[in-house]
Amino acid sequence: MVTIYDIAKKANVSAMTVSRVINNSGNISQKTREKVEAVIEELGYIPNSSARSLTSKKSKILSLMVTDITNPFFTNIARGAEDKAMQMGYQLMLCNSDENVDKESKYIDMLISTGTDGVLAAPANDSSKKNLQKLAKYKIPYVLIDRFIEDLACDQVLSDNEMTTRRLLEHLIKQGHKKIAIINGPLEIATAKERHNAYLDTLDLHELPINENWIHQSHFLRDSDISETVKKMLDLPENERPTAIFATSNFIATNIVRYMNENHIKIPDDIAVVCYDSFPNYLGTEPFLTSAEQPSYNFGYLGAQLLIERIENTAPETPRKIVLPSEIHFRESSAFKRTE
């Protein structure tokens, strides 16, 4: 871990001078300031206002980094994490990245600076690897929830994306659907990639057609605009038009249903819809969508438990991976009512 003494040595100044530059205090020449700032940038130093690295004391604060706090999935994760944290004598601090790696990076710098005992993180995407490695550099334990990153050895609490996707699609197939579309999140997000691959594998296993006009990406945030995507699929010739859509997140499904309602398109009479994750009741209707409900509370609760065990050095050396199954709710939205 880089300290102000490392900065001072490389810049050939005193530790006091480095401290004055960092705190923007004292009478420091512009030339010296620029030299010290250049070394700080080169060594990747992050000031720690609580001097956490100099003591063995713990802050008893856990940090939860989610990608969209407006999503009920992450709200429930926060509740589970908070309950476990308080049970173990910790407090929980919430950070929301909006699936933005740069915003995530700023939060992580802040957490390192102000002091946190550990971080429970749903990474923004695969590029979050450098942000998480920064935590490791400063010896701050972290646990990944919902999303993983390849070649990053750490504790994880994940969804069974492959099996859940297969179960949803095979339900549609049993209903008679042969032309199944997918509207997914960005493939640089692990969950989207796994659901995409499981979609392709399942259709291939059942010898069903895979049409590029049925494969689309949006994003997982609440304001995902899928109207043009849905319109393009419904405007395809009758023999190419999908009879069902697999929405890989609750917000994608919400916006599909909203578009259908606004354009007087009936579900499932005109097209069926299934959803990965529970469907929020934003449209003021009774639950009708076939969906896979993830145990979101347990993601937070178990993730916090793994993290506290890392912090308190009671965890095994080998990283642990917990994969949680989803509960499928079969409802009317997946029925097959169109004629071929």
Exposure string over 154-185, b if 16+ CB within 10 A, otherwise e? bbbbbbbbbebbbbbbebbbebebbbbbbbbb
List strand residue ranges (DSSP E) for the chain, in order.
61-66, 91-96, 118-121, 142-146, 155-159, 180-184, 215-217, 244-247, 272-276, 290-293, 321-324, 327-329
pLDDT, position 51: 43
Query: What letter would DSSP give residue 246?
Result: E
Does one domain contain both 27 and 94? no
pLDDT, position 282: 54
pLDDT, position 288: 87
Q: Determine the Cα–Cα distance for residues 209 and 58; give it in Å rounded to an integer.
A: 56
Does one domain contain both 276 and 174? yes
Does one domain contain both 75 and 141? yes
> For residue 44, which of 121, 136, 120, 141 has the smallest C-alpha distance?
136
pLDDT, position 204: 97
pLDDT, position 18: 87
pLDDT, position 173: 97
pLDDT, position 338: 56
Residue 191 lies in a domain: yes
Q: How many domains does the chain have?
A: 3
Residue 49 lies in a domain: no
pTM of the model as a whole: 0.81
Residue 339 lies in a domain: no
Residue 224 lies in a domain: yes
Domain containing residue 222: CATH number: 3.40.50.2300
Does one domain contain both 153 and 168? no
Does one domain contain both 236 and 304? no
Residue 48 lies in a domain: no
pLDDT, position 286: 55
pLDDT, position 56: 41
Low-confidence ranges of the chain (pLDDT < 70): 25, 48-57, 279-286, 337-340
In angstroms, how far is the first alpha carbon of the chain from the final one?
Answer: 65
Cβ distance 77 to 146 under 8 Å? yes
Does one domain contain both 146 and 221? no
Domain span including residue 64: 55-159+296-326
pLDDT, position 263: 93
pLDDT, position 283: 52
